[in-house]
Structures are given as C-alpha cells and as structure tokens.
C-alpha cells in the first residue's frame, strides 16, 4: 500500500509492518485543534497500536470525534479548521504538505455514526471505492470477500443487485463496513457505529468489530461505557476544561488498558465520569 507524495516518488508502506507490537501505528504529538478562534482540543498525545481496538470516550463536546477524524484528514473540509502539532501514520506526518489526503483515506477508512449506503445496489456500494481507485480486477471476488468479512454475505448473496437502502439499519451499517474494508485499509475508524441501531443490531456490530480486530487496527468513538469495556483493548478518556478566557476545550485526561482504566482510574475526572 502506498501513501502518495505529490510531485515526488510514491513511498511504499507495509500495512503489516514487522515493527514490534509496541510500536504505534498512529500517533499524535501535542495535537491541538480549533475552528477559527474556538478551541476544540489541546495538547493531545495519543498512540494507537496495531491490531488493537482503541476506544475514545468522554462527554459530548470533549473533542473525541474531532480527534478521530484527524487520523484520515476528514476535518480538512470544515471551514476554519486549524491544526497544530503532529499526526503520524508509521513515521509519516499525515499533515505534511506533500501528503495526498485521498491516499491517506485509502489506508485509514471510516465508518460513520449513521449508516450511509449510497443509493446504489449492494454490489455497487462495496465495489465503489475500488472503481474510484481504478482497482477493478476481480471485483466479484473482492465484493464477496468484503461481505463475508462484514458477516453479511449469507443475508445478501441472492440480492446483490437490489438497492442497498432496502436493507435494515444493522445490515446497512455492516454494508458500510464492507465498503470500507473492500479497499484493504490498515486502520478502520468508527464514530459511534451503533448509535442509531437497536440492541440486537448493536450486538451483531460489536461481534463483527471483535472479529475485524484480528485483521485491522480499529479506533472507535463511543458514548457507551459498557461497549468500550466489552470491546476495547485500550481506552482513552477525554475531558473538558475552561481556560482563562472562558473557552471550553477537550484534553486527553487518561489512557490505559481498558480493564485497568475502568477498574482503577487514576484521575478524579475519570472516577467522576464512571460514577455518572
């Protein structure tokens, strides 16, 4: 897989590096984000390790979804978005001027809060990213593989050319996951992927996430503390504070192995959050 460097050579990046598992795949250094004069998060230092599930938790407005979207540059299109600090994928600075954000998104995919299938057939939804990338060899095999990985193949194999919008909410979300993994990213970002689903569909998506973690590095934002505890290897807790000007912003208050974080939180903010 390549991250493209504008006007220069492509740089090859191994999606399964032989680095130690202790080497972060994604990393932020002193990451601060604002929209115009309004701060969102400040001084976030966070490491995401390969083939783990990392959960970002915290109250609404603490900046966790904004941080998540930084990993594949989805904030770029937001007016007045400003970032300082560094975001690394392997050792590549994702916000260097030479980096192609489209190539970044091919390696770091995104699943959104609300299922968002395209108004196309099930087959064409999964094949969409491959066609955009010009990777049309063996489409049938890739569509089947992706739907199998998303635990959807048996339910849709006889209706691949019917509208995706006719699927149930849970099926639509699994289809969106299939569409994301069809291009073989190294990382899958998930922003509240179960927020609009019923408990049965949520259970299915959680089981799928656990299965995908054997192949992909997963970063998930969730407001559901029990979901974070069920799924995540590592949990990062974001909290808010107010500066001397009265501006509220988020910061990374605590991060650690999930069971240790929930069982023995080290900060007053985390203890208070767990107590509701």
pLDDT in tens, 35-64: 998 999 999 999 999 999 999 999 999 999
Q: Are 127 and 139 spatial neighbours (Cβ–Cβ below 8 Å)?
A: yes
Is 7 within the bounds of a domain?
no
Q: Report the pLDDT value the prediction gives residue 20, as an integer from 0 to 100.
A: 54
Q: Report whether pLDDT(19) > 90.
A: no
Asked if the model's pLDDT at residue 11 lies above 80, the reply is: no
- The β-bridge partners of 253 are none
Distance separating alpha carbons of residues 150 and 164, to the nearest angstrom = 15
Q: Cα–chain-centroid distance for residue 220?
A: 6
pLDDT at residue 10, rounded to an integer: 39
| Mean pLDDT, rounded, of the chain | 90
Q: Would you say residue 9 lies in a domain?
A: no
The domain of 67 spans 23-274
pLDDT in tens, 217-240: 999 999 999 999 999 999 999 999
- Is residue 114 domain-resident? yes
Question: What does the alpha-carbon distance between residue 66 and residue 45 come to, in Å, rounded to a whole number?
Answer: 14
SS3 131: helix
Domain contains 2: no
CATH code: domain of residue 86: 3.40.50.300
Q: Are 208 and 174 in contact (CB under 8 A)?
A: yes
Q: Is residue 68 part of a domain?
A: yes
* Residue 161 domain flag: yes
- State the Cα–Cα distance between residues 74 and 72, nearest whole angstrom: 6
The number of distinct structural domains making up the chain is 1
In a domain, 3, yes or no: no
**Averaged pLDDT for residues 170-195:** 95
At residue 96, the pLDDT reads 93
Q: Specify whether the backbone of 206 is left (phi greater than 0), alpha (psi in -120 to 50) or beta.
A: alpha
Cα(151)–Cα(145) distance, rounded to whole angstroms?
Answer: 10
| Whether residue 13 has pLDDT greater than 50 | no
């Amino acid at each position: 897989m390549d991250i493209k460097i504008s006007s220069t050579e492509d740089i090859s990046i191994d999606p399964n590096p032989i680095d130690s598992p202790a080497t972060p795949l994604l990393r932020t250094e002193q990451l601060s984000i604002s929209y115009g004069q309004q701060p969102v998060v400040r001084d976030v230092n966070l490491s995401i390790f390969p083939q783990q599930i990392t959960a970002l938790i915290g109250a609404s407005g603490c900046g966790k979804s904004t941080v998540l979207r930084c990993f594949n540059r989805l904030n770029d299109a937001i007016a007045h978005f400003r970032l300082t600090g560094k975001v690394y994928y392997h050792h590549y600075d994702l916000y260097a001027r030479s980096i192609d954000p489209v190539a970044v998104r091919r390696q770091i995919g995104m699943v959104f809060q609300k299922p968002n299938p395209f108004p196309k057939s099930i087959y064409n939804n999964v094949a969409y990213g491959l066609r955009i990338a010009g990777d049309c060899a063996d489409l049938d095999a890739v569509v089947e593989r992706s739907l199998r990985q998303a635990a959807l193949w048996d339910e849709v194999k006889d209706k691949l050319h019917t509208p995706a919008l006719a699927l149930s909410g849970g099926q639509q979300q699994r289809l969106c996951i299939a569409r994301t993994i069809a291009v073989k990213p190294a990382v899958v970002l998930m922003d509240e992927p179960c927020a609009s689903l019923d408990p049965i569909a949520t259970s299915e998506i959680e089981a799928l996430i656990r299965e995908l973690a054997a192949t992909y590095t997963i970063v998930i934002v969730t407001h559901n503390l029990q979901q974070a505890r069920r799924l995540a290897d590592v949990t990062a807790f974001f909290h808010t504070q107010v500066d001397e000007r009265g501006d509220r912003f988020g910061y990374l208050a605590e991060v650690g192995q999930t069971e240790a974080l929930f069982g023995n939180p080290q900060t007053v903010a985390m203890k208070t959050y767990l107590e509701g």
